[in-house]
Structure 1
Amino acid sequence: MEEFLKSWRQDALNKHQYDAAIFIGDKLLALTGDPKDAFWLAQVHFSTGHYNRAQSFLTRNDLITRSTSCRYLAALCLIKQSKYDEALNVLGDKNPTHLASGSSTSTASRRRAPSKSSKDRDDPGSNIKFEAAMCYLRGLVYAKQNAFDKAKECYKLAVLIDVKCFEAFDQLMKNSLMSPDEEWSFLESLDFEGINSDGEEPGQQAEFVKMLYTTRLSKYKNPMSFNNATETLAERYNLRQNADLILSRAELLFTQCRFKECLSLCENVIEDDNYNFAVYPLYLACLHELNMKNKLFLISHDMADNYPEEPVTWLAVGVYYLTTGKIAEARRFFSKASMMDPHFGPAWIGFAHTFAAEGEHDQAISAYSTAARLFQGTHLPQLFLGMQHLQLNNITLADEYLNNAFILCKSDPLLLNELGVVFYHKEHLKESIQLFTKALEIADEIESDPKAWIATRANLGHAYRRLELFDKALEAFEEVTRAGEGRDANIYSAVGLCQLQLGRPWDAVVSLHEALAISPQDPIATELLEKALKENANTDALFQATLLADGEIVVQDEEDVDFILHERMLRSKLKAKAIAASGGHRYGGDGGESSTRSSRRGGTASGERRRLGDVTSNYQEVGGESMDLSDEEL
């Protein structure tokens, strides 16, 4: 009869016929009085959403003190009812640290135990696995109480006790509770060898789980290990089209600023599962970065119609409004998403970005500070705080926040660029050159999009110029102008200044005319052009030599020189007028004085671009702070 009722109960559960499962489970419990049968009956109540009924059932039958699994389920029922203090009383505030692998009474002996012991631990009443699960619940309670340090330790212990406690591992990763270095160190400390390998090659399951966990770690560190893990999982285990694996590869591409490739992978996931919410923060960030307003509009409406209870829905609406420049509306929806889930990282970062976009630095600093408190393991909030203080010219505070970010992550090119700008303003030019160079080297190593780092290369050129290494400065500026999108009046003005310092006034005249073609009213380029023309007029020999070397014309006397100079100036003026009449420079941008002015204010014309994303992988800025010539330097 007992076996018959168990089979009937399980069949009802498989069909989600919960009333039948409760009816049969109640009779089975009366027949056996077994705590395991009580646990299963309480689970059915829990599955129907009757958390209070399940918890009172466990308490009424005094099952909490008799069974570890029942104590776990009772605490989970209380958490679902937001009764966090009561849940902690049931769980107890002490973690079973002696069960962690690597402790003095470690599980080494359990790993070598007979297979019967292993099977016992897989049973629902297994103490070990439910002890790990209760550590995870303690972490949830502490996180709800904003005690993130305690939550972090509970999650770590849960995975150390039972490496298959993925829920705890996932909380550590997606909430960025550990720095990239800590994540990789923690991975090496886990007891993968303790996984039961019955029926498989020795160590194969351990290798498989370790590679799966590797794909969840920070993408700023050890990209080679990440690539090896993903390739092995794709080839050996046929997981190439698995959504989680595709998402991990997309996160890596996002950190490399390869937005089109990242977008393509995200769309592959969404094509198979239109409402895979894990991929949407990254997907929305790519659409924002690529300015795809129509797609954002359609996605926002679709999700608002079908999943209004999901925070990511209102994140999508906020990103759409941010992309279309409606900052106030974007802020309202980012705020709504963060209220629905106070630990939703992308919503907090987006909320802060709306203040930064309007130049409201104090409010942006406050919002980024909240994100830094919630997500202590990621360097991004600290980086954004440093960037805000840099725009406010608070160099000391910017240095402090950026160094805090550097402690957490030493391999983000944007962070190295911002630190280089701080050293530049502190007149430590050699150190700034080292940082700009390192940023460009890392960007090249991770195969990042070169156009994303135009501002960093321009900053390197300015640092060389300030050190009077004019040849190296010209090399850096040449790379910027060659990129096309880096055409900026300020860059050509800097090139002209370097050429003047090298005694090449005619080259300076040409470069400064390029600057004025982009921004006809630029005062710095205008002043430098006057100086270049005067120097060129006083050095006829240099002028004639330049013409001869170019093979354009042989100058016979001063009248030819005046004629050629007048003709070239006239061409440049006509070119500037044609560009102004067409609505801006043909290489992009808004043209005119406003482009240069906005770059001096730290706006987007200098190459700085903001973007949204998941806190684990997820949100950063590309382009960064770009420096300009100042009147004092002329």
Structure 2
Amino acid sequence: MASSHPNMERFLRDWRQDALNKAQYDSAIFIGDKLLAMTKDDNDAFWLAQVHFAAGNHTRAHDLLIKHGLVGSNPSCRYLAAHCLIRQGNFADALTLLGELTPTHLFASNTKRKTHRTTASRSARPGSRNPDRPPDDLTDEEWSTRRYEAGMCYLRGLCYAKENAFDRAKEAYKDALRIDVQCYEAFTQLVRNSLMSPDEEDEFMQSLDFATVRAPKGGDDPELTSEPADYVHMLYQTQLSKYRNPAAFNTAIESLSTHYGLDDNADLLLARADQLYTQCRFKDALAITAAVLQEDKSNFPAYPVHLACLYELKRTNELFLVAHDLADHHPEHACTWLAVGTYYLATGKIPDARRYFSKSSMMDATFGPAWIGFAHTFAAEGEHDQAITAYSTAARLFTGTHLPQVFLGMQNHAMNNMTAAEEYLKSAYSLCRTDPLLLNEMGIVLYHQDRLREAATFFTQALRVADDTRADPHAWLAARTNLAHAYRRLGLLDKALHEFDVVLRDGGKNAAVFCAKALILLDRGMPDDAAAVLHEALAVNPQDAVATELLNKALELSAMGDVGAFERLDLGEEGEEGEEEMGDGNGGGEMERFEAALEEKKVAAAARMERKGRGRGADKGKGILRGGGGRRGGEREGEERGGGIMDMSDDY
């Protein structure tokens, strides 16, 4: 029926839209209500509901859609009604409204897209829905319907997540992207909540058809038609795991920075900082996050990395200032209490840290850094059973990240439960094979099971990965030290000496490393050289009992002039025969007795330190504030526990 007041209706619609654009919601609601009374048009009712939703009147918006019978009329109204219910916390009702059936007929795939390019276009009635048609052939109404259907899949995922059905939530988010690859809300839920492993991320990205990204109409240049698809793909690539494909990440960052002027964009800078953090380049990462937060203090995605870097660099004063500022201005945000918890953890006030990490996780149940920090507080106090329970919860919530499994392995290792530790680390390895931290931990567990060759393989692989990613060499001195110990016990003494020398040259001035090197020199019948090395060890730590005893032995042998008195083993050539002959490298006679004595002293010293410093222990959770992707900590075993030369190191 033709309108009797077309000019007035046009005037009121323009007025309503102008008020909405200026966030003058009362005006928009007032005018929209008069317009709806005049026209009784469903479209005007939908737009009035949109204004109510934008104003935060979610109940009124939902009731308006129900009153006019719009919920079942089209996907846009059903999407808005479900969104209103979710904002009210009625997740069960929202899921009932959305239904549990996914419109799989709308899925876009690479296979379908290739078919479009190689077959003749199909004829279709004007206005008919054909999901197999290329996006450029869809009408605006069909394209809008497709995007609302994707939006409903995203909302369905939110409802599943609130019901702790994370597997179903993940599939719903994936379905949203299969229908509309531009549904960034679904993509960010998958990535930020660590719902996919790095391999799964890569496989899923390859399955998406970025060619369905709709280019602006009117252009005849094929390159301009495909450019938006490449742009979206690169943007998504920067948000993926930094372990899986660093080359692709660097290429995407370079292209977006140089060709599109995004070199100063906060999201790209944070992606770069995240990569630097995984490489233990804390100062470089902190410089980036500090610059981002200086421009925008409310950029909350920047805080987890920023706080973790401050923690690693022991900048407690800056942590205090950040936490205080957030508590003053954003007490409603989970990240605020993460910052407070991190400050207390850094200052050794573990119960306070636990309380604020718990508060942060209760404010946002999907906030991974808070869960990991909460678990770390138990690990810091040596409460291994409670730490395992907390890490297990994090592993259940964030199935795509390997870090909770790594921490579970470390806790079981601390409890001397090597079988369980190995199983958890293997689970982590199945999710991520390129984290040097994980590879080092696997090597440590194998070392303590006397599986020395396998341990050496993992230590070598950790160093190779760190080198490939251009990680800070100083951050991985522990892995190199562990590799040297494995070589020493395998009887590959030349290799062991080389690795110890590299550690010492790169800054690992540790008395235990000097002692280990001296032990090899004594075993080779070089007491004078061993004595010189042991003097350096005592210069680092004059009270080191192991270095003192070894020095006395070296001086005694040197005075006797009889290198055979140490019962040095005949190692033969360094190769497979030498390894077989050596066995575990400890041998018998004097060497075996001496290392047994060292082991006893190590255990006794560790017991004394544990009695003195219980509650002051080091953080065993190397992933201090990352949910997803995880952050490092440090165990400082050699420094804090006074361990002997056979200690394996987790120190980062």
What interval of TM-score do these two structures reach, taking the shorter chain for normalisation?
Answer: 0.7 to 0.9
2:382 is the counterpart of 1:352? no
Q: 1:232-311 counterparts in 2 under 5 A?
A: 232-311=255-334
Equivalent position of 2:97 in the other structure = 90
Q: Distance in 1 between matches of 2:112 and 2:289?
A: 45
Q: 5+ residue gaps in structure 2?
A: 1-5, 117-129, 565-604, 648-652
Equivalent position of 2:520 in the other structure = 498
Equivalent position of 1:577 in the other structure = none
Partner residue of 1:446 out of 469, 478, 481: 469
Kept in 2, the 8 Å contact 1:453–1:623? The answer is: no
Equivalent position of 2:141 in the other structure = 120
Equivalent position of 2:509 in the other structure = 487
Q: 1:61-460 counterparts in 2 under 5 A?
A: 61-102=68-109, 112=133, 117-121=138-142, 126-198=144-216, 199=218, 201-460=224-483
Q: 1:541/1:472 Cα in 2 relative to 1: closer, same or farther (>3 Å)?
A: closer
Q: Compute the displacement of 1:174 (Å).
A: 0.2
TM-score for the superposition, normalised by structure 2: 0.83
Letter of the 2:284 counterpart: E
Equivalent position of 2:589 in the other structure = none
Q: 3-state DSSP class of the match of 1:203?
A: helix
Identical residues among aligned pairs (%): 55
Q: Compute the displacement of 1:483 (Å).
A: 2.4
Letter of the 1:358 counterpart: E
2:546 is the counterpart of 1:524? yes
Q: 1:375/1:605 Cα in 2 relative to 1: closer, same or farther (>3 Å)?
A: closer
Letter of the 2:625 counterpart: G
Q: 5+ residue gaps in structure 1?
A: 543-592
Letter of the 2:141 counterpart: D
Letter of the 1:22 counterpart: I
Q: Distance in 2 between matches of 1:76 and 1:612?
A: 35
Q: 3-state DSSP class of the match of 2:244?
A: coil
Kept in 2, the 8 Å contact 1:489–1:515? The answer is: yes
Q: 1:609/1:257 Cα in 2 relative to 1: closer, same or farther (>3 Å)?
A: farther
Equivalent position of 1:573 in the other structure = none
Q: Distance in 2 between matches of 1:146 and 1:482?
A: 51
Q: 3-state DSSP class of the match of 2:138?
A: helix
Q: 3-state DSSP class of the match of 1:441?
A: helix
Using the TM superposition, name which of 233-242 and 12-21 deviates more: 12-21
Kept in 1, the 8 Å contact 2:110–2:207? The answer is: no
Kept in 1, the 8 Å contact 2:527–2:554? The answer is: yes
Q: 3-state DSSP class of the match of 2:400?
A: coil
Kept in 1, the 8 Å contact 2:195–2:399? The answer is: yes
Q: Distance in 2 between matches of 1:54 and 1:171?
A: 26
Q: Distance in 2 between matches of 1:395 and 1:114?
A: 55
Q: 1:609/1:522 Cα in 2 relative to 1: closer, same or farther (>3 Å)?
A: farther
Q: Compute the displacement of 1:516 (Å).
A: 3.4
2:51 is the counterpart of 1:44? yes
Equivalent position of 1:549 in the other structure = none
Per-residue CA shift, 1:175-216, capped at 9, x if unaligned?
000000111111111121111113551200000000000001
Kept in 2, the 8 Å contact 1:251–1:618? The answer is: no
Letter of the 1:501 counterpart: D
Kept in 1, the 8 Å contact 2:371–2:390? The answer is: yes
2:31 is the counterpart of 1:34? no
Per-residue CA shift, 1:334-358, capped at 9, x if unaligned?
1111111111111111111111112
Letter of the 2:154 counterpart: Y
Q: Distance in 1 between matches of 2:510 and 2:281?
A: 23
Q: 3-state DSSP class of the match of 1:202?
A: helix
Q: Distance in 2 between matches of 1:134 and 1:114?
A: 19
Partner residue of 1:617 out of 629, 645, 650: 629
Q: 1:163/1:458 Cα in 2 relative to 1: closer, same or farther (>3 Å)?
A: same
Q: Compute the displacement of 1:226 (Å).
A: 0.5
Corresponding pairs, count: 577
Kept in 2, the 8 Å contact 1:288–1:611? The answer is: no
Q: Compute the displacement of 1:154 (Å).
A: 0.2
Kept in 2, the 8 Å contact 1:348–1:367? The answer is: yes
Kept in 2, the 8 Å contact 1:140–1:151? The answer is: yes
Kept in 1, the 8 Å contact 2:19–2:27? The answer is: yes
Using the TM superposition, name which of 317-326 and 459-468 deviates more: 317-326
Q: Distance in 2 between matches of 1:352 and 1:224?
A: 33
Kept in 2, the 8 Å contact 1:215–1:245? The answer is: yes
Q: 3-state DSSP class of the match of 2:140?
A: helix
Per-residue CA shift, 1:137-195, capped at 9, x if unaligned?
11000000000000000000000100111000000000000000111111111121111
2:482 is the counterpart of 1:470? no
Q: 3-state DSSP class of the match of 2:406?
A: helix
Using the TM superposition, name which of 91-100 and 503-512 deviates more: 503-512
TM-score for the superposition, normalised by structure 1: 0.86
Q: Distance in 2 between matches of 1:411 and 1:81?
A: 42
Q: 1:596/1:97 Cα in 2 relative to 1: closer, same or farther (>3 Å)?
A: farther
Letter of the 1:307 counterpart: H
